[in-house]
Amino acid sequence: MTTGRPVHVESPPPPRRARRWRPGNWPAGLSSLIWLVIVVVPIYWIVITSFKTQSNYFVQNPLAPAGEPTLDNYRMVLESDFPRYFVNSVVVVVGAVLPAVLISFMAAYAIVRGTGQRFLRGVNSLFLMGLAIPLQAVIIPVYLIIIRLQLYDTLLAIILPSVAFAIPLSVLVLSNFIRDVPRELFESMRMDGATEWGTLWRLVFPLTRPALVTVTIYQGLLTWNGFLLPLILTQSSEQRTLPLALAAFQGQYSINVPAIAASVVLTTLPIVVLYALGRRQLLSGLTAGFGK
């Protein structure tokens, strides 16, 4: 992409940066284009449908934008119990992801710093093994534990297992990043008399912030979209989270497709916003990390 600029001539670019990337081959380009259409059509359809009146929906071409756009569907969804489900989802995501990332960060730090210790090596392999445990496979005992803890049908019932299942991948990713922090920096922190806890927050935290953001967004996404835990561990509609509410909503209004479309858009919007914000923070984090 820099080929047109003569500016680069005087200083040879750093060897790492692959400038002037080769063009992709045409089968790849073609399939990418076809796939683009396949990706865009359902998303486009759900968005435009959410602005149609129910009667319009049946007579209009499904891919044409709404003749007279209406916000009635959104109003209808928002006037239902949707705000409550929304709050529930937010509580679960915040309550699960922040503690999960925090304790994973601590564990990842310990694993990297205490490489020699047998205990920590054991913990590390346990988490690696944990990557292979699917939530579905252990849902029955989790259900039993939650009942015994008398937490059934509470938001905490969703939060606790969510935290546990966020740990293995978070630790893996974070420890890979912490390993990249130069040893000398740890050494100089130690010389300055910093405790491990101080080193964690004053040295490692700023350096691994992009990784922390990535992990937080990823786990936030998974928890926000989580379906199995709320399905199994809650019962009353007061404790419903959004994905579960969507499924119930769809059963209730199966004929009112525009209303369903609006509910889908509304549940997805926060994630899109988070992703958009996170991307930027991710980028600035990376720039800060490399631009010293």
Distance between CA atoms of residues 144 and 112, nearest Å: 35
Q: Which two tokens stand for residue 103?
A: 């304790």
Name the residue with tokens 């499904």. 62
Kindly write out the interface string for residues 150-189 of this chain, putting x where it contacts another protein by CB under 8 A and - elsewhere: ----------xx-xxx-xx--xxx--x--------x--xx
* 141 binds another protein, rule: CB under 8 A: yes
Q: Which of residues 84-123 bind another protein (CB under 8 A)?
A: 103-104, 106-107, 109-111, 113-117, 119-120, 123
Residues 225-244 within binding reach of another protein (CB under 8 A): 225, 227-228, 231-232, 242-244
Closest CB to another protein among residues 72, 123? 123
**Nearest to residue 105, comparing CAs of 269, 236, 216, 27?**
216
Q: How far apart are CA 103 and CA 173, in angstroms?
A: 13
Tell me which of 13, 29, 67, 69 binds another protein, using CB under 8 A: 29
Token pair of 38 as six digits: 């396949």
Q: DSSP for 8-28?
A: GGSSPPPTTS--SPPPPPHHH
Stretch that binds another protein, among 6-14, 24-32, 71-79, 80-88 (CB under 8 A): 24-32
Q: Specify whether the CB–CB gap between 243 and 226 falls below 8 A.
A: yes
We find the least distance from the C-beta atom of residue 6 to another protein, in angstroms, to be 19
| DSSP for residue 201 | I
| Region binding another protein by CB under 8 A among candidate stretches 6-14, 65-73, 80-88, 267-275 | 267-275
DSSP secondary structure letter of residue 238: G
Which is nearer to another protein, 192 or 238 (by Cβ)?
A: 192
The only residue of 88, 155, 264, 278 in contact with another protein, by rule CB under 8 A: 264
φ/ψ of 236, rounded to 5, equals -75, 155
Q: Among 8, 43, 69, 277, which residue interacts with another protein (rule: CB under 8 A)? A: 43
Q: Among 6, 68, 132, 236, which residue interacts with another protein (rule: CB under 8 A)?
A: 132
Q: Using an 8 Å Cβ cutoff, are 163 and 99 in contact? A: yes
Binding string, residues 185-214; x marks residues near another protein by CB under 8 A: x--xxx-xxxxxxx-x-xx--xx------x
Tokens of 291: 């631009």
Minimum CB separation of residue 1 from another protein in Å reads 6
Cβ distance to another protein smaller for residue 7 or 37: 37
Neighbours of 78 (CB within 10 A): 15
Interatomic CA distance for residues 154 and 133, integer angstroms: 24
